[in-house]
Chains A and B, each alone.
Chain A
């Protein structure tokens, strides 16, 4: 499998669209996870992934191999998803005078929280925390690799993941 992937990568880097297509089909599930963690709708995820793959394909010649191709693709998907959110936010808020952002956690009413399952708690996380959890807990990347993918400092990755875990623990304990 590794050898096959290596061959595909070589062909893809030479501009072989079919080989690149096979590669992204192998990795799409993981790559989609990153985009999904940020944009949170299927339609937007599809849109982001299509643009990310296109961007990656035409940028393959600049991929220098210092990281794995899959890590590099994750980085492109992540940034494309951020671009998408940024654009959508800007479009929505254009002309609006002031806005408050980041509602970390609303008040946690015990009864209301009682039926929340883990996925619902994950939904409540800020995007930047959720995507880091996806990369680490979901996809098994190390903090260093996650930092490389997201462009964040390693310490920032660690602190945000710590906050995410603290949020989940706190919200789940509120139910009791």
Chain B
């Protein structure tokens, strides 16, 4: 029976004991992958499984990976073709006078090898295309971060109440072990309050300050800056209890309605700016919103930006009033108004007692964004 509090040991033991044993062939697959990755001889496995370097490695189930370290010829499925055997055949031109071979005897093989080579080069090129041509330093001496609005003033909190939200671009670049893979943070476009503006709806602009973890080699969750003192801070935020604090300091409550329907705090999330601009339906979250926001960078998979978020006070199932025109405007603004800049870590403002850095400075994202080039002035 489980009707008692559990101590730390019991919890730990239960968790450890639940870990399943690997399937047959697990280590053989790993050995094959390591050998393919390292191009080295591996003398076998400790568990007695025989290493088979010719074992076919299953193609990845993930979408195209932007991490260059994951691009291997070993992963490319060339069917039954063995390039290691065939490429040397074309070192001496088949059928040439010096080759001593009969003219055109090997042309099908050579053509196939050449075709495979072209396909390989094109495939690798396609995979590499969206990556940065100026890799960010992996030695922790610099990291690209930043946030800004379209005016370039990172801490400009002037709002234009009632208008559609301004696109705030935020960007973070992973460094450390996975430096070449941009991790793009979410952008919170704004906060919509359906009860505002006399009941016609009201847009608050997004906060322009973000926090990020600075001392890690991995990814960084974005954390909204939640005002500590309602009524003073200009930033909207999601409080720990899940309520939404609007920029004027008011805190949402269950009594608020729109057109007689009770409203509910929601986070609408698009996978990236492109899907937002195209008007694709968002995923809507109603619960654990702080966590939803904090973890959104982990869900982003879009090539053009990180996830796009909108906080909204709306009745259940009500549509967020964002016209396609507004979406296009937001998309254009984000592309035309941002720049990427690297910043030495020493220049960052460190918050004592926290593993977070709050960046207040001009900004970051280049027009065609992470996928292409990153300018560095640092």
How far, in whole Å, are A173 and B3 apart by their CA atoms in the complex? 5
Determine if A3 is an interface residue (Cβ-Cβ < 8 Å). Answer: no
**B79 contacts across to A, CB distance below 8 A:** none
Q: Tell me whether A62 and B42 are in contact in the complex, defined as CB-CB below 8 angstroms, given that A67-B217, A118-B11 are known contacts.
A: no
Among B4, B19, B44, residue most surrounded by chain A Cβ atoms (within 10 Å)? B19
- Taking a contact as CB atoms under 8 Å apart, the answer to whether A122 and B354 are in contact is no
Name B46's closest neighbour in chain A (CB-CB): A25
- Taking a contact as CB atoms under 8 Å apart, the answer to whether B218 and A20 are in contact is no
- Taking a contact as CB atoms under 8 Å apart, the answer to whether B23 and A17 are in contact is no
Interface residues of B in 65-102 (CB under 8 A from A): 67, 69-70, 72
Partner of B22, one of A46, A138, A140: A46
- Taking a contact as CB atoms under 8 Å apart, the answer to whether A83 and B62 are in contact is yes
A2 to chain B, nearest CB (A): 18
Inter-chain CB contacts under 8 Å: number: 237
> B166-177 vs A: 1/0 string, CB under 8 Å?
000000000011
B371 to chain A, nearest CB (A): 18
Q: Tell me whether A151 and B177 are in contact in the complex, defined as CB-CB below 8 angstroms, given that A15-B38, A54-B33, A122-B11 are known contacts.
A: no
- Taking a contact as CB atoms under 8 Å apart, the answer to whether A151 and B223 are in contact is no
- Interface residues of A, dominant DSSP: helix
Interface residues on A, range: 35 or more
**A172 contacts across to B, CB distance below 8 A:** 2-6
- Taking a contact as CB atoms under 8 Å apart, the answer to whether B5 and A51 are in contact is no
> B130-163 vs A: 1/0 string, CB under 8 Å?
0000000011100000000000000000000000
A37 to chain B, nearest CB (A): 7
Chain B positions near chain A (C-beta within 8 angstroms):
1-6, 8-23, 26-27, 29-31, 33-35, 37-38, 40, 42-47, 60-63, 67, 69-70, 72, 138-140, 176-179, 213, 215-221, 223, 271, 281-288, 291-292, 294-295, 298-299, 301, 317, 354-356
Chain A positions near chain B (C-beta within 8 angstroms):
15-18, 20-22, 24-25, 28-29, 32-33, 36-37, 42-43, 45-47, 49-51, 53-55, 57-59, 62-64, 66-67, 72, 75-76, 79, 82-84, 86-87, 89-90, 93, 96-102, 104, 113-122, 128, 130, 133-134, 137-140, 147-156, 168-169, 171-173, 175-176
A–B Cβ pairs within 8 angstroms, 10 of them:
A18-B42, A55-B67, A58-B70, A58-B72, A59-B177, A98-B284, A117-B1, A119-B17, A122-B15, A156-B223
